[in-house]
Structure 1
Amino acid sequence: MSKQIDENLPPAEFIDDSYKGSDKLKGKAVLISGGDSGIGRAIALHFAREGAKVAIIYHSDAEAAEHTRKGIQAEGADALVIQGNVGSSADCNAAIAQVMDEWGALDVLVNNAGFQKPFASLSDISDAEWTAHFDVNIHGMFYLARAALPHLGEGASIINTTSINAFAGNKHLVPYTATKGAINGFTRALALQLASKGIRVNEVAPGPVVTGIQLTFKDYDEDILKDMDKMTPMQRVGQPRELGAAYVYLACRDSAFVTGQTIHVNGGMIVNG
Structure 2
Amino acid sequence: MSRRVLLVGGSSDIGLAIARAFGPPVVGVGLTPCADPAFASYLVADCSSSDVASDVVARAARELGGLDVVVLAAAIMPVAPAHTTSDTQWRSALGAALDSAFFVCRAALPLLGEGSAIVAVSSVNAFLAAPGVPAYAAAKAGLEGLVRQLALEYGPRGIRVNAVAPGLIGGETVPDSAAGYPLGRTGRPEEVAAAVTFLADASFVTGVVLPVDGGLSIASPAAFVRPDLRARWLQD
Contact preservation (8 Å) 1:229, 1:237: no
Distance 1:53 1:229 in 2: 40
Structure 1: which 5+ residue stretches go unaligned? 1-25, 74-78, 212-224
SS in 1 for 2:210: strand
**Aligned residue for 2:163?**
203
**Aligned residue for 1:59?**
31
**Aligned residue for 2:70?**
109
Superposition pairs of residues 1-20 of structure 1, within 5 angstroms: none
**Aligned residue for 2:9?**
34
Q: TM-score, normalised by structure 1?
A: 0.75
Superposition pairs of residues 194-233 of structure 1, within 5 angstroms: 194-210=154-170, 230-233=179-182
Q: Give the drift of 1:270.
A: 2.0
Distance 1:183 1:176 in 2: 10
Q: Give the drift of 1:37.
A: 2.3
Q: Give the drift of 1:102.
A: 1.0
Counterpart of 2:22 (choices 47, 62, 67) is 47
Distance 1:28 1:228 in 2: 43
Paired residues, what number?
217
**Which one scores higher on RCO, CA 8 angstroms, separation ≥ 6?**
1
Determine if the alignment matches structure 1 residue 249 to structure 2 residue 198.
yes
Measured at CA, do residues 164 and 265 of structure 1 come closer, stay the same or move farther in structure 2, by a change above 3 Å? same
Contact preservation (8 Å) 2:121, 2:164: yes
Measured at CA, do residues 227 and 34 of structure 1 come closer, stay the same or move farther in structure 2, by a change above 3 Å? farther
Q: Give the drift of 1:157.
A: 0.1
**Aligned residue for 1:100?**
61
Distance 1:174 1:197 in 2: 35
Which structure: larger Rg? 2
AA matched with 1:57 = V
Q: Deviations over 1:78-117 (max 9, x none)?
A: x121110121112211111111221220000000011001
Distance 1:94 1:227 in 2: 48
Q: Give the drift of 1:228.
A: 10
**Aligned residue for 1:214?**
none
**Aligned residue for 1:85?**
46
Q: TM-score, normalised by structure 2?
A: 0.86
Q: Give the drift of 1:243.
A: 1.2
Distance 1:175 1:137 in 2: 10
Contact preservation (8 Å) 2:211, 2:217: no
Counterpart of 1:234 (choices 176, 179, 183) is 183
SS in 1 for 2:130: coil
Structure 2: which 5+ residue stretches go unaligned? 220-236
- State the identity %: 35
Q: Alignment RMSD, CA only?
A: 2.1
Distance 1:37 1:125 in 2: 24
Determine if the alignment matches structure 1 residue 259 to structure 2 residue 234.
no
Contact preservation (8 Å) 1:34, 1:57: yes
SS in 1 for 2:99: helix
